[in-house]
Amino acid sequence: MKYVVIGGDAAGMSAASRLKRVKPEEEVIVFEKTEDVSYSACGMPYNIADEKNPMQKLVVRNAETFRTKQNIDLRTGHKATGIDKNKKIVFGEKSDGSTFKEQYDKLLIATGASAIIPEIHGINNEAVFVLKTLNDGKKIKNFIENKKPQTALIIGMGYIALEMAEALSTRGIKVTMIKKRQQLLPWMLPELSNIVGKELADNKIEFFPGQPLKAITKEESSLIIKTDKDNFKADMVLIAIGVKPSSELADSCGIKLGKNEAISIDSNMKTSVADIFAAGDCADCMNIVSGQKTWTPLALTANRGGRIAADNMLEEKSSFPGITNTSVFKAFNLEIAKTGLTLDEAERAGFTPVYKVIESKSKAHVYKDAAPIHLSFIADKKTGRILGSQIVGTEGAARRINSAAVALKAEMTLEDFYNCDLAYAPPFSPVWDPLLTAASILMKQID
Amino acid sequence: MKYVVIGGDAAGMSAASRLKRVKPEEEVIVFEKTEDVSYSACGMPYNIADEKNPMQKLVVRNAETFRTKQNIDLRTGHKATGIDKNKKIVFGEKSDGSTFKEQYDKLLIATGASAIIPEIHGINNEAVFVLKTLNDGKKIKNFIENKKPQTALIIGMGYIALEMAEALSTRGIKVTMIKKRQQLLPWMLPELSNIVGKELADNKIEFFPGQPLKAITKEESSLIIKTDKDNFKADMVLIAIGVKPSSELADSCGIKLGKNEAISIDSNMKTSVADIFAAGDCADCMNIVSGQKTWTPLALTANRGGRIAADNMLEEKSSFPGITNTSVFKAFNLEIAKTGLTLDEAERAGFTPVYKVIESKSKAHVYKDAAPIHLSFIADKKTGRILGSQIVGTEGAARRINSAAVALKAEMTLEDFYNCDLAYAPPFSPVWDPLLTAASILMKQID
């Protein structure tokens, strides 16, 4: 049996490792178009903030280790360009321009996602960046070191944008942020997004919502960024308006696409074409709260999906459990965490969402330095079922989200959660954990 | 309707507050033997460590506030000494020596727990302390300030003992610990209790297990503490060998006692005698993992129990959800957390417990300063059901226990938990949260 994997990032290498561990005698070939495999993409903003830490340190395991230690036939600089699903052959092009083809018995597509780049005048400029691949990160870091930019404009307001606002500020660069839509963080409860807005302002980040990008022009050593309202001047620009699934290869061989043009897969990671599987950021997945397909590129989903795809390629039945869409990130001193559905998502899924943001403390009230923590559950008004939770705070606020993620998995109501026996000691929490208080307060709004 | 509460601490004042909130027009009388109500007992070690923070700051709400703001008839310096369950009368003695009696319609006993004091020679010495009441805490703090002890001997190895070892060390006092049994922390998985032992040694705490206390004698300004093996010399002694339920009053009027001589109550906080309820450290409660009654004095249980007792005194049906016995504490730099059953408890409850301690990291591996975290689930070998979890580490390790506490409430198996969508971002966790890894590893031992 010959197993072929396209894409050597989280999902692809998780799958290849598992395939080889279970079947050491079988051939496992991975085609990766770049030279980098298995690096911590999520660590890039934090690395950019740290002048002294080389970006190469983000490589968790290098290609050679996969080859020699795990005996995976990892072929970097190999870009797959076509699949013949009938003859079961992958075609491609090497970085030296030559071509290759390879037969497979079972194929995994793990082509990931790519940064969305707006098609506007002046976008191709050496001072205009995205941050998706390790190479993108290296370019930004080199630019900062060589060109010593004083000012940066970030376009977008997602977690990469916010993490990079902090990273660039840490490097002494004055950051301005613009975004197309009017709302700062549309997915976030307004009371919480206001707190994030204040944190940005407190850290001297100017932001201008409601300004769609129109063009970028060069002026001496700087860039002029034009929106439909204003002109901004900056030494560098980061485009951080989101990512899209890299599903063109799958599409071209007739594999069905789903949510957000991601590859549609079943719970066994199977695509619509026999013997072709998909996992990671290129594929969709089930949100177990809404019961609907979603496209949510997240590291744990990719790692888990890779493992489960491998199991199914090995014909060991294994199902992806679905996600609750849990994410955390840092913006300056704030920790921001969410799990489950947003208000909009909850409504679209047919629920009647209610929420109530409360303020609690990071530890017992007797501590003078107990930090504020703002949080809420989102629950269904009719049944009390927990649909999501959002937390903004400091001092370990973000790690609290996991309790809510477990509650979502267990399909708990607010009352079920309120009855959980959470930990208390003065250095860690008030007697009533902030999440218990949030549950208790919101219970009053349930029918 | 006249509501009477005996005991003005967490359970008593939670109940009184709720009674008065729901029924402002009814009489709510609280008898408290001391002058202190509603203080953070758990905060005492941390306060003792902090020379500049007066102990009175631990009082969350003073007696006068309960009287004037909440209109609760709070009578401090009133020690209840007897109950006539037929005539429904509480008898007692005031701190001035006079007596009182009061009729009730519904009575709550919330008499708490008291420190266990061994009956040995020399125990009544002004340099021998326990730490249970605010007054105990004040005595210790005053002694440190006035007598400037250089050395302390702590007898016991529970969380009060460990927190006080840290607190006294912080005050510059050389601490030695002894305990009767041989094992350092018998409830803890051995791999984890070894880490705690090392932390104590690293912080210059000498400890001598397997040494039962025999006598204390005075020698000049110091004390000589005799065990069956050695003699220890110290300027002060802290007895921290545990607490027992203060259930004598309940016993004397024929109320049925249960586990550990605590007052036996049903899920509506009712005792065996009509119209008498009990809550807090004096009462037992249900452990939902073992399905057996337990006696576990914890702050959240007391607060929750007080509220639920009040609901039932008001004849609004409300059930105590049971506990999973979650606790956290700090010992020097270590955060120590547990939830659920210990190995012994699991065996006694009829399970076949298995566990596997793993080492993971507090954040992504690319961080040079990622701290080790050691943890394990305890699960039933036959069914994979999670029975407990224990965590030792730094940097927010303790707050992770809540996810496991929620899983216990939901009666999850290891596989259920492994399928939870926990948060990942480099500053907060590895991609696979330490608890997910612990679940995954232990799954291999399940039948």
Over residues A162-178, the pLDDT tens digits come to: 999 999 999 999 999 99
Q: Which of B325, B400, B431 sits opposite A300 (nearest CB)?
A: B431
Q: Which chain B positions have a beta carbon within 8 Å of A322's beta carbon?
A: 421
Q: Which residue of A has its CA nearest to B415?
A: A321
Q: Which residue of A has its CA nearest to B337?
A: A423
pLDDT tens, position by position, A136-162:
999 999 999 999 999 999 999 998 999
Given a cut of 90, whether residue A57 has pLDDT beyond it is: no
For residue B444, give every residue at least 6 positions away whose Cβ sits within 8 Å of its Cβ, in sequence order, or none.
Answer: none
Residue A410 to residue B416, Cβ atoms within 8 A = yes
Q: What is the mean pLDDT of residues A219-229?
A: 93
Contacts of A398 in chain B (CB under 8 A): 423, 425, 428
pLDDT at B369: 82
Smallest CA-to-CA distance from A326 within A159, A191, A439, A179 is with: A159
Cα–Cα separations (whole angstroms), residue A93 to A37, A96, A97, A276, A429:
18, 8, 6, 20, 56
| pLDDT confidence of residue B397 | 87
| Under 8 Å between Cβ of A156 and A128 | no
In sequence order, which residues have a C-beta less than 8 Å from that of residue A91 and are 6 or more positions away? Answer: A80, A81, A82, A83, A84, A99, A100, A101
Report which residue type is found at B308. Answer: I
Task: Tell me the C-alpha distance between A58 and A52, whole Å.
Answer: 13
Say yes or no to pLDDT of A366 above 80. Answer: no
Beta carbons of B330 and B167 less than 8 angstroms apart: no
Residue A7 near residue A110 (C-beta atoms within 8 A) = yes
Query: Which of A56, A33, A54, A243 is closest to A132 using CA atoms?
Result: A243
- What is the model's pLDDT at position B268? 97
pLDDT at B12: 97
User: How far is it, in rounded angstroms, from Cα A298 to Cα A291?
Assistant: 18
Residue A139, CA atoms < 13 Å, CB-side half-sphere: 15
Asked if the Cβ–Cβ distance from B365 to A60 is below 8 Å, we say: yes
- Which two structure tokens, joined as six digits, stand for B418? 């492994």
**Closest residue of chain B to A40, computed from CA coordinates:** B366
**CB within 8 Å: A402 and B403:** yes
What pLDDT shows up at residue A367? 79
pLDDT in tens, A320-330: 999 999 999 99
Whole-number Å distance between alpha carbons of A118 and A138: 22
Least CB–CB distance from A366: residue in B57, B324, B367 = B57
Closest-CA residue in chain B for A426?
Answer: B43
**Interchain contact, B60 vs A365, CB within 8 Å:** yes
In this prediction, residues A303-325 reach a mean pLDDT of 96
**Total length of chain A:** 447
Encode chain B (447 residues) as per-residue pLDDT tens digits: 999 999 999 999 999 999 999 999 999 999 999 998 888 888 999 999 999 888 888 888 889 999 999 999 999 999 999 999 999 999 999 999 999 999 999 999 999 999 999 999 999 999 999 999 999 999 999 999 999 999 999 999 998 999 999 999 999 999 999 999 998 899 999 999 999 999 999 999 999 999 999 999 999 889 999 999 999 999 999 999 999 999 999 999 999 999 999 999 999 999 999 999 999 999 999 999 999 999 999 999 999 999 999 999 999 989 999 999 999 999 999 999 999 999 999 999 999 999 999 999 998 877 778 899 999 999 999 999 999 999 999 988 889 999 999 999 999 999 999 999 999 999 899 999 999 999 999 999 999
Q: What stretches of A40-88 show up as alpha helix (H) in DSSP?
A: 44-49, 63-68
The answer to whether B417 touches A410, Cβ cutoff 8 Å, is: no
Asked if the model's pLDDT at residue A38 lies above 90, the reply is no
Mean pLDDT of A261-272: 98
Cα distances (angstroms) measured from residue B145 to each of B150, B151, B219, B295: 11, 14, 21, 36
Give chain A positions within 8 Å (CB) of B426.
40, 42-43, 46
The tokens describing A102, both together, are 């390879």
Contact B398, B362 (CB under 8 A): no
Please report residues of B whose CB lies closer than 8 A to that of A427: 46, 330
> Which chain A residues contact residue B60 at CB under 8 A?
365-366
CA pair distance A139, A276, nearest whole angstrom: 35
* Residue A50: partners with Cβ closer than 8 Å, 6 or more residues away: none
Whole-number percent of chain B with pLDDT over 90: 90
Cβ contacts of residue A294 below 8 Å, gap of 6+? A259, A284, A285, A286, A287, A323, A325
Interchain proximity B403–A403, CB inside 8 Å: yes
User: pLDDT over 90 for what percent of chain A?
Assistant: 90
Catalytically annotated residues of B? 42
Quote the pLDDT of residue A120: 93
pLDDT band at residue A369 under the 50/70/90 scheme? confident
Q: Where are the beta strands (DSSP E) in A120-239?
A: 128-129, 151-155, 174-178, 206-208, 213-219, 222-227, 231-234, 236-239
In this prediction, residue B237 carries a pLDDT of: 98
User: What's the pTM value of the predicted model, to 2 decimals?
Assistant: 0.95
The residue-averaged pLDDT of A390-403 equals 93
Quick one: pLDDT at residue B220?
A: 87
Q: Which residue of B has its CA nearest to A319?
A: B419
From chain B, the residues in CB contact with A337 under 8 A are 423
Q: Which of A39, A290, A318, A406 is the best substitution to test chain B (most B C-beta atoms within 10 A)? A: A406
Mean pLDDT of chain B: 95
**In this complex, how many residue pairs, one in chain A and one in chain B, have their CB atoms less than 8 Å apart?**
197
Average pLDDT, chain A: 95
Tell me the nearest-neighbour CA distance from A242 into chain B, angstroms: 17
**At A220, is the pLDDT very low, low, confident or very high (cuts 50, 70, 90)?**
confident
**Model pLDDT, residue B192:** 97
Residue type, A370: A
Cα separation of A183 and B224, whole Å?
A: 70
CA distance A378 to chain B (A): 17
Mean pLDDT of A196-208: 96
